[in-house]
Amino acid sequence: MSEETTSKAPEAGATQAPQGAAGPGGPGGGPRPGGRPGGGPGGRGKFFRRKKVCKFCTEKIDAIPYRDVRLLQGFVAERGKIVPRRLTGVCTTHQRRLTRAIKQARNIALLPFATRH
Ligand SMILES: [Zn+2]
């Protein structure tokens, strides 16, 4: 009876070819892997409830205080992006003022700019 006890780790099976060298494949347009996982049934509704009336109009806020970070943050996505008024329900007039206020807030470092990825 001769048993071979292989104490070596059997990791030699996985062959990982380093794809880094410029092969002679040429710039042939291959099929792109991955892509956007879009196509799901209904995806929005996470940020805000859709309001019919603009919040600022409702509360009769004429000038949007750019110092009110909490207020502004409600209209800024996590990455610092301004949420489109489609999602917020803000009217055009106030959205414009809001954008301005957010940009002002950014300039004085109250709000972050869009975080680069
Ligand atoms: Zn409004």
Query: CB within 5 A of ion ligand 1: which residues?
Result: 54, 56-57, 91, 94
Ligand 1 centroid to residue 17 C-alpha, Å: 58
Q: Please tell me the total number of residues recorded for the chain in this structure.
A: 117
What pLDDT shows up at residue 88?
92
Specify whether the CB–CB gap between 80 and 113 falls below 8 A: yes
Contact indicator for 83, 48 with CB cutoff of 8 Å: yes
pTM exceeds cut of 0.75: no
The pLDDT value given to residue 24: 56
Which of 100, 79, 99, 103 minimizes the C-alpha distance to 88?
99
**Residue-level pLDDT at 78:** 87
d(CA 58, CA 42): 28
Position 109 scores a pLDDT of 87
What is the C-alpha separation between 67 and 99, in angstroms, rounded? 13
| Per-residue pLDDT in tens (0 to 9) along the chain, 117 residues | 666 665 555 555 555 555 555 545 555 555 666 655 555 555 544 554 554 689 999 999 999 999 999 999 999 998 889 999 999 999 999 999 999 999 999 999 898 887 766
The half-sphere exposure of 92 on its side-chain side, counting CA atoms within 13 A, is: 0
